[in-house]
């Protein structure tokens, strides 16, 4: 085996950094899914009747979908066993206390968990300029900088707290972008979701810091089903970050989240994700099944929603952060780097639905496949009949590291208005021999050359991430590429 | 002899199965055993596959079920004698010297054909006749490349295979003049016509084919055509298909191409008219150093619906493929381009390019593009691009400042847009004829 | 004193086609050697073999670099040992910023020499200083390596990197190709400023013009995979005047 393939081999097999488990006592409900379980989840969370009723409607809808196997989403370029939805526990929370008044009440083991992940929650160690909501298994364990934000009228709290303190906002917006009828996993999430983050930026306010939610699955045999709801009122701005990890386990764990974003007139929401759920081992054993519905609506004129994602984790990724461009002159953006290795499979992309006039969208997707992984871009650009002067530019580049992996591009362009200008470009390449030779000739080793070239390939996307995140993203990508080579 | 009016109430697929059972003992009889066995297997596959449902990904944008529900007559009979030489004349390409094979309702008509000066060893005839005279060739090639197990329209066609074009170019033979295959449809009632074509170009052979068809009556016609092309080592096959039907004709055409080492296959599909047109092209370059070119131009207006599906399945290393499709959608027309390039693991050093450009002229026309790359080999150069837009207003303004009317300026831009595809037509008289058709379309 | 580079009877082929058919060449520190020859004579192959390009198979002969076997070393090891190739066609590295690239290259070599790695400030200072040598637009440093550079910029970038990496042996492969006279002067000035008693140059060129600006100590003529004539700088002028055919004839080769 020459150094090149040896190195790629190592890349493909490199270890997962966040595979440890925290020993904390958890309150985990029995496995299974039925109306009783939904009621149990709702009662554990002291929820109002209207929310329970909504969950039950969602559950019945999900049941009707689950009853007909052809309603399972099977169009994705993914191969995985059927999931036994009765063999999952739908609620797990650290048991010391269901809710925390302050961080002092939080189990120190838990705080250490987040610190180990590089997310300190304690007052003196807080990340400057970033407010964090930390969610472990199903429950939010702490939100930092709450008071500072509240002074400007910004609401940033766990979803449960929002239900309790801001029911009018939750009622108004929950399910308005992703109704529970949207798809199989959205229905499931709507029925069993446990917690998540809620964020409201009032009119004209520019959120002074990055808002961030950090998700971690800890318990075995559980699924994580969180909902995030972000509402940016007229003329406001917020940048929101999301990170996630999970312990290394031999079984597959299910993560089915819903994220909804509403951007009113002149508002701008920037949503960044670093997805690093446990991807399974090199043979494809274990790992998180990541089925996520993320969608934003540019409801008002001149509003803007931008999704940026770095996807390195999960054994299966099924995820299409989308933007509905309803307001005139609204803007949707999707920037993505998806790196797969081992036996990972990713089917990810976006949907840009142009409805208003003079709307524009940009899609830049970079897929890197190594090992025996499969990496697909799937994206829809749809221009409705009445949407005048819609503009879209899409660019999907794939890079293959090794000859046992796959890179695929499935764009859908649906144009129903003559004034639309839609452009899609895609390329597939490998790291060029001549590029490596050039780097070698300047004294850079083969491995460093590959890292350099791959980082260069992703550069324009990573540059879109907020600074703190960009550093983390670069590190993560370097670790992913480094493999076990010293 | 038209026969077997299909009863309306039973499941659509079952109507065809019972028609098959009825006809098997009658019209479909008389040909060789191999063919009979193929048909029998195919009707089984057809029944299992069923017609595409609305949710079938490959038929996402084309609702073919609607058309199939019409009570078509299945035609099996011998060639209709009422066709005249002038009907054929209308489809000839001016100034093009060609060998002409004429088919009526999918059945070979020797009297109307002009095949007297074919080179030594070259055969152009009907498939039904070839089943008697060239049994070994049919055994070796027929139904080898088209997929009756996976494609319902192929299965249906195979089950009812009776006649169509048979072109055989033996080793080292070069057919200098192009071969034009003309299918005229003359049925008096709504009919389903299913021609089956087989083109075999052996090692180092060369042939150019022009396929065209036309309905001479105003009844509803549905053509389900399947063509198989075998391109041997170092052989060259250039194929042109002209689809210029009236609004009463719908078509599903399926073209399966099998390429051997260092062969070159070029196909160009020109779609000017029809009700619903669906073209499926699958090319399998099954050896190294193959070259494949797929060109397409579709001009649709009214309520016309054109759906082009292509698949280039690169299984072997060092092959080249290039796809170039352009479309102009006017009125309430719908255009679809779904091109897929598949590069399998062993197909290293593949160069595959794909481009689709479309212009949508009205608020009520739609264009759906789905260019796909599915790649499992790492040492490849693949790219695709798709653009949809409108005419460049700046350019039109510029032309108008030079004295052109708006109409002229638009026509000039549209003809130029289409001409990029015509440039790849190597038969000059054909290129001129197509250019005239495009120009005529936009010049009133 | 051990020569810097000593090539003996070097034979190399590409895809079973013999290109170098027995090259002999000795370069001492401080010397500038020009290798001239018609297209296809094997000049660029020689450069590629010295740098370690894998497509080239060495069939016979030896290459000693400071007395050690150069051919045993990997490409990047050669670079860290001080062998620099200025490419005829520098490759583009999309997205890889010049600064990041330089940092990795400079520090790989410094590490190999047992020096401390340069920090960002040190690197920036060095960059500024060296970029001035070849009049390289400072904004190019912000761009991706060679991406969107004009032909002239690419060539200047090669000489700039030569200055940054301070090699012991620099091989310039047709650095003049595609340059107009002004750019040629700039590049030559850069190279001249880098001449030093402990550095050797091998300048490969098709035309004599470059040698008006980079004046060589020795000129070698390569024809059909061999160095068939060597002399002083005046040999280049003879070639310019008479073309390559007289050399070919002198050596009994068939004129092109």
Instruction: Please indicate if any CB of chain A lies within 8 Å of the CB of B300.
Output: no
For tokens 């807080």, name the residue: A126
C-alpha C219 chain-centroid distance: 15
| Averaged pLDDT for residues A222-239 | 91
For the ranges A137-146, A238-247, B244-253, the maximum mean pLDDT occurs at B244-253
Query: A182: burial class by Cβ within 10 Å (0-12, 13-18, 19+)?
Result: middle
Domain spans in chain C, listed from the N-terminal domain onward: 5-250
C95/A458 CB distance under 8 A: yes
Tell whether C185 is within 8 A of chain A (Cβ): no
Q: Which residues contact residue A104 at a Cβ distance below 8 angstroms, ignoring those fewer than 6 apart? A: none
Nearest CA in chain A to C83: A441
For residue B337, pLDDT beyond 90: yes
Whether residue A21 is predicted with pLDDT greater than 70 in this model: the reply is no
Q: What is the pLDDT of residue B159?
A: 93
* pLDDT score of A213: 81
**Chain B residues lying within 8 Å of A428, measured CB to CB:** 373, 375, 380-383
Contact of C168 with chain A, judged by CB distance below 8 Å, is answered with no
Partners of B336 in the beta sheet? Answer: B307, B368
Choosing from B287, B321, B339, the residue where a domain stops is: B287
Chain A positions touching B366 (Cβ under 8 A) are 414-416
Which comes out higher in pLDDT, residue A78 or A349? A349
Chain C residues closer than 8 Å to A366 by CB? none
- In this prediction, residue B300 carries a pLDDT of 96
Average pLDDT along chain C: 88
According to the model, what pLDDT value does residue A97 have? Answer: 46
The answer to whether C4 and C68 have CB atoms below 8 angstroms apart is no
How high is the pLDDT of residue A464? 83
Report the DSSP pairing between strands B264-273 and B236-244: parallel
Q: Is A434 in the B-facing interface, judged by CB distances under 8 Å?
A: no
Q: Do A442 and C165 touch (CB under 8 A)?
A: yes
CB contact under 8 A, C105 and A443: yes
Per-residue confidence (pLDDT) for residue B293, from 0 to 100 = 95
Q: CA B23: distance to chain centroid? A: 27
Contact of C79 with chain A, judged by CB distance below 8 Å, is answered with yes
More confident residue, A300 or B16: A300
CA–CA min distance A35, chain C (Å)? 53
Alpha carbons A247 and A358: distance in angstroms, whole number: 46
pLDDT at A138: 55
- CB–CB contact A441 C84 (8 Å): yes
pLDDT at res. A2: 40
Give me the residue spans of the domains in chain A. 3-482
Chain A residues close to B348, C-beta within 8 Å: 403
Structure confidence by residue, pLDDT tens digits, A38-64:
999 999 888 999 999 999 999 999 998
**Is B389 in the A-facing interface, judged by CB distances under 8 Å?**
yes
| CB < 8 Å to B389, chain A | 420-422
C87 touches chain A (CB under 8 A): yes
H or E element that contains B259: strand B249-259
In chain A, the residue whose alpha carbon lies closest to the alpha carbon of B359 is A418
Let me know if chains C and B touch, i.e. at least 3 Cβ pairs under 8 angstroms: no
Residue B349 lies in a domain: no
Helix axes C151-165, C98-112, angle to 10 degrees: 30
Domain boundary, last residue among B287, B314, B332:
B287
Contact across the interface for A438 and C93, Cβ inside 8 Å: yes
- Three-state DSSP state, B65: helix
B362 vs A418, A421, A423: nearest CB: A418
Could you tell me the two tokens for A288? 């998180």
Q: Which of B100, B72, B74, B77 is nearest to B87 (CA)?
A: B100
Domain with B234, as residue range(s), is 2-287
Neighbours of chain B (3+ CB pairs under 8 A): A
Q: Please write the tens of the pLDDT for every residue from B358-410.
A: 999 998 999 999 888 888 888 888 888 888 888 877 777 777 777 777 888 88
pLDDT at residue A383 above 60? yes
Q: What is the residue-wise DSSP string for C98-136?
A: HHHHHHHHHHHHHHHTTPPPP-HHHHHHHHHHHHHHTT-
Of A441, A453, A459, the CB nearest to C75: A441
- With a threshold of 0.85, tell me whether the complex ipTM lies above it: no
Q: What is the pLDDT of residue C256?
A: 40
Query: Which chain A residues are within 8 Å of B383, Cβ to Cβ?
Result: 425-428
Residue B98: is its pLDDT beyond 50? yes
Is pLDDT at A11 greater than 70 in this prediction?
no
Residues of C in Cβ contact (< 8 Å) with A460: 95
For residue B57, what pLDDT is reported? 84
Would you call A208 an interface residue with chain B, using a CB distance cutoff of 8 Å?
no
Q: For residues C128-140, give the mean pLDDT.
A: 84
Alpha-carbon distance of C134 to C85, in angstroms, equals: 17
Q: CB contact, 8 Å: A323 with chain B? A: no
Q: Which of A309, A382, A381 is nearest to A346 (CA)?
A: A309
Cβ atoms of residues B72 and B190 within 8 Å: yes
List, for residues A158-209, the tens digit of each pLDDT value: 898 899 999 999 999 999 999 999 999 999 999 999 888 899 999 999 998 8
Average pLDDT, chain B: 89
- Identify from A425, A443, A451, A464 which residue to disrupt to test chain C contact, counting C C-beta atoms within 10 A and taking the largest count: A443
C151 Cβ under 8 Å from any chain A Cβ: no
What confidence tens digit (pLDDT) does each residue in C93-116 have?
777 788 878 888 898 889 899 999
| pLDDT, position B77 | 63
* pLDDT score recorded for residue B127: 93
Residues on chain C touching A448 (C-beta within 8 angstroms): 104, 108
| pLDDT of the residue at A278 | 81
Q: Touching C: which chains, 3+ CB pairs < 8 A?
A: A
Strand partners, A297: A262, A324
> What's the pLDDT at A1?
32
**Interval A315-336 mean pLDDT:** 95
Beta-bridged to residue A346, according to DSSP, are A317, A375
Region B183-194 average pLDDT: 89
As a whole number of Å, the end-to-end CA separation of chain A is 18
Mutate to test the interface with A, among B330, B355, B378, B394 (most CBs of A within 10 A): B378
Query: Measured at the alpha carbon of residue C181, what is the angle toward residues C129 and C215, in degrees to the nearest 5?
Result: 70
pLDDT value, residue A8: 46
Two tokens, residue A30: 């029995």
Helix residue ranges, H only, C2-150:
43-51, 75-80, 98-112, 120-133
CB contacts of A437 in chain C (<8 Å) are 53-54, 75, 91
The answer to whether B39 and B161 have CB atoms below 8 angstroms apart is: yes
Q: Does B12 have pLDDT greater than 60?
A: yes
pTM: 0.78
Which chain B residues are closer than 8 Å to A411 by Cβ? 369-372, 386
Q: Which residues of A touch B380 (CB under 8 A)?
A: 400, 428-430
- pLDDT tens readout for residues A102-155: 555 556 665 666 666 565 565 545 555 556 677 665 556 566 677 778 889 999
Query: Tell me: the pLDDT tens digits for A360-371?
Result: 999 999 999 988
One domain for residues B10 and B152: yes
Considering only residues A402 and C172, tell me which one the structure prediction assigns the higher pLDDT.
Answer: C172
Q: What is the helix (H) or strand (E) element at residue B114, kind and residue range?
A: strand B107-114
- Averaged pLDDT, B144-169: 94
Count of domains in chain B?
2
Q: Which of A329-338, B435-444, C18-27 has the lowest mean pLDDT?
A: B435-444
Residue B388 and residue A405: Cβ atoms within 8 Å? Answer: no
| Domain match, B175 and B27 both | yes
Residue A218 has pLDDT above 80, yes or no: no
Contact A272, A308 (CB under 8 A): yes
Tens digits of residue pLDDT in A444-453? 988 888 888 8
pLDDT band at C39 (very low <50, low <70, confident <90, very high): confident
pLDDT reported for residue C192: 94
Record the tokens describing residue B27, joined without a space: 């019209």
* Chain centroid offset of residue B433 CA: 19
Of the residues B287, B322, B350, which one is the last residue of a structural domain? B287
Is the residue at B50 inside a domain?
A: yes
Per-residue pLDDT, averaged over A220-242, amounts to 88
| A14 or A76, greater pLDDT | A76
As a whole number, the mean pLDDT across chain A is 83
Task: Please give the average per-residue pLDDT across A212-224, as a whole number.
Answer: 72
C76 interface with A at CB cutoff 8 Å: yes
CATH topology of domain C5-250: Rossmann fold (3.40.50)
The answer to whether the Cβ–Cβ distance between A455 and C96 falls below 8 Å is yes
Give the CA dihedral C69, C72, C73, C74, nearest 10 degrees.
Answer: 160
Partners of residue A426 in chain B, C-beta under 8 Å: 371, 373, 383-385
**Which pLDDT score, from 0 to 100, does residue A484 have?**
24
């Amino acid at each position: 085996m020459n150094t090149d393939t040896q190195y790629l081999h190592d890349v493909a097999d490199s270890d997962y950094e966040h595979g440890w488990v925290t020993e904390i006592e958890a309150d985990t409900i029995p496995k299974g899914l039925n109306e009783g379980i939904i009621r149990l989840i709702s009662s554990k969370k002291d929820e109002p009747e209207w929310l329970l009723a909504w969950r039950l409607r969602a559950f019945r809808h999900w049941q009707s979908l689950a009853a007909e196997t052809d309603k399972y989403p099977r169009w994705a370029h993914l191969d995985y066993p059927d999931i036994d939805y009765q063999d999952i526990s739908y609620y797990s929370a650290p048991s010391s206390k269901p809710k925390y008044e302050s961080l002092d009440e939080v189990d120190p083991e838990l705080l250490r968990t987040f610190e180990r992940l590089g997310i300190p929650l304690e007052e003196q160690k807080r990340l400057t300029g970033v407010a964090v909501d930390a969610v472990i298994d199903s429950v939010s364990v702490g939100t930092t900088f709450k008071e500072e934000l509240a002074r400007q009228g910004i609401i940033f709290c766990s979803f449960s707290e929002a239900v309790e303190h801001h029911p009018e906002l939750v009622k108004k917006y929950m399910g308005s972008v992703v109704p529970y009828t949207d798809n199989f996993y959205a229905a499931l999430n709507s029925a069993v979701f446990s917690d998540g983050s809620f964020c409201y930026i009032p009119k004209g306010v520019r959120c002074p810091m990055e808002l961030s939610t950090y998700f971690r699955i800890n318990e075995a045999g559980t699924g994580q089903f969180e909902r995030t709801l972000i509402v940016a009122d007229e003329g406001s701005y917020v940048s929101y970050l999301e990170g996630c990890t999970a312990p290394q386990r031999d079984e597959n764990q299910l993560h089915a989240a819903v994220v909804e974003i509403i951007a009113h007139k002149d508002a701008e929401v920037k949503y960044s994700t670093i997805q690093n759920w446990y991807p399974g081992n090199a043979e494809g054993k274990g790992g998180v099944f990541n089925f996520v519905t993320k969608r934003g609506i540019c409801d008002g004129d001149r509003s803007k929603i931008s999704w940026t994602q770095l996807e390195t984790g999960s054994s299966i990724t099924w995820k299409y952060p989308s933007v509905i461009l309803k307001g005139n002159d609204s803007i949707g953006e999707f920037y993505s780097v998806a790196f797969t290795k081992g036996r990972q499979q990713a089917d990810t992309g976006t949907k840009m639905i142009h409805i208003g006039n003079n709307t524009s969208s940009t899609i830049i997707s970079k897929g890197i496949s190594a090992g025996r992984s499969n990496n697909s871009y799937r994206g829809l650009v749809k221009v409705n009949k009445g949407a005048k002067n819609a503009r879209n530019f899409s660019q999907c580049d794939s890079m293959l590291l090794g000859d046992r992996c796959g890179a695929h591009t499935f764009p859908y362009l649906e144009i129903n208005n003559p004034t639309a200008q839609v452009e899609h470009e895609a390329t597939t390449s490998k790291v060029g021999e001549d590029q490596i030779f050039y780097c070698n000739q300047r004294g850079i080793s083969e491995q460093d050359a590959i890292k350099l070239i791959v980082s260069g390939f992703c550069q324009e996307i990573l540059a879109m991430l907020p600074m703190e995140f960009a550093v983390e993203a670069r590190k993560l990508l370097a670790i992913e590429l480094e493999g076990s080579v010293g | 002899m038209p026969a077997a009016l299909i009863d309306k109430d039973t499941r659509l697929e079952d109507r065809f199965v019972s028609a098959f059972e009825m006809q098997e003992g009658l019209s479909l009889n008389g040909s060789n055993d191999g063919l009979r066995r193929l048909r029998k297997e195919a009707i089984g596959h057809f029944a299992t596959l069923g017609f595409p449902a609305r949710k079938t990904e490959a038929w996402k944008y084309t609702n073919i079920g609607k058309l199939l529900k019409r009570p078509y007559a299945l035609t099996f009979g011998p060639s209709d004698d009422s066709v005249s030489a002038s009907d054929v004349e209308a489809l000839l390409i001016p100034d093009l010297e060609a060998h002409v094979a004429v088919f009526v309702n999918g059945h070979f008509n020797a009297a109307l054909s002009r095949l007297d000066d074919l080179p030594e060893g070259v055969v152009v005839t009907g498939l039904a006749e070839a089943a008697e005279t060239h049994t070994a060739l049919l055994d070796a090639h027929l139904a080898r490349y088209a997929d009756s197990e996976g494609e319902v329209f192929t299965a249906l066609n195979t089950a009812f295979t009776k006649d169509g074009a048979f072109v055989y170019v033996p080793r080292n033979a070069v057919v200098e003049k192009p071969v034009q295959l003309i299918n005229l449809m003359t049925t008096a009632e709504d009919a389903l016509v299913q021609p089956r074509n087989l083109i075999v170009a052996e090692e180092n052979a060369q042939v150019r084919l022009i396929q065209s068809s036309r309905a001479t009556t105003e009844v509803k016609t549905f053509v389900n055509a399947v063509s198989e092309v075998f391109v041997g080592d170092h052989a060259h096959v250039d194929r042109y298909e002209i689809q210029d039907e009236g609004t009463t004709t719908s078509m599903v055409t399926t073209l399966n191409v099998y390429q051997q080492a260092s062969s070159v296959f070029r196909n160009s599909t020109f779609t000017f008219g029809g009700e619903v047109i669906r073209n499926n092209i699958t090319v399998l370059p099954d050896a190294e150093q193959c070259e494949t070119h797929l060109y397409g131009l579709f001009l649709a207006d009214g309520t016309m619906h054109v759906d082009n599906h292509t698949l280039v399945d690169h299984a072997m290393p060092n092959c080249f493929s290039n796809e170039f499709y352009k479309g102009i959608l006017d009125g309430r027309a719908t255009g679809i381009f779904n091109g897929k390039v598949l590069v399998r693991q062993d197909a290293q050093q593949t160069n595959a390019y794909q481009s689709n450009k479309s212009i949508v002229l009205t608020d009520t026309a739609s264009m759906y593009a789905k260019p796909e790359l599915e790649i499992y080999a790492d040492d490849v150069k693949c790219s695709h691009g798709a653009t949809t837009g409108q005419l460049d207003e700046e350019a039109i303004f510029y032309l108008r400042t030079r004295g052109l009317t708006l109409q002229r300026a638009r026509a000039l831009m549209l003809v130029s847009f289409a001409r990029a595809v015509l440039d790849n037509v190597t038969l000059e008289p054909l290129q001129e004829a197509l250019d005239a058709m495009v120009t005529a379309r936009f010049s009133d | 004193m051990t020569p810097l580079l000593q090539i003996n009877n070097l034979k190399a082929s590409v895809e079973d086609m013999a290109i170098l058919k027995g090259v002999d060449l000795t370069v001492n520190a401080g010397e500038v050697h020009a290798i001239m020859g018609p297209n296809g004579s094997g000049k660029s192959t020689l450069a590629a073999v010295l740098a370690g390009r894998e497509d080239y198979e060495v069939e016979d002969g030896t290459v000693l670099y400071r007395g050690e076997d150069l051919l045993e070393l990997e490409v990047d090891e050669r670079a860290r040992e001080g062998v620099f190739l200025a490419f005829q066609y520098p490759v583009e590295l999309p997205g890889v910023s010049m600064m990041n690239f330089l940092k990795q290259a400079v520090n790989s070599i410094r590490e190999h020499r047992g020096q401390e790695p340069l920090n960002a400030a040190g690197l920036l200072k060095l960059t500024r200083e060296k970029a001035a040598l070849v009049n390289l637009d400072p904004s190019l440093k912000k761009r991706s390596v060679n991406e969107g550079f004009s032909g002239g910029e690419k060539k200047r970038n090669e000489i700039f990197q030569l200055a940054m990496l301070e090699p012991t042996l620099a091989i310039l492969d047709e650095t003049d190709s595609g340059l107009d006279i002004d750019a040629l002067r700039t590049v030559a000035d850069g190279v001249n400023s880098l001449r030093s008693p402990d550095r050797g140059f091998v300048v490969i060129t098709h035309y004599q013009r470059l040698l008006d600006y980079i004046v060589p100590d020795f000129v070698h003529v390569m024809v059909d995979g061999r160095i068939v004539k060597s002399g002083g700088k005046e040999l280049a002028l003879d070639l310019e005047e008479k073309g390559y055919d007289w050399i070919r004839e002198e050596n009994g080769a068939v004129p092109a």
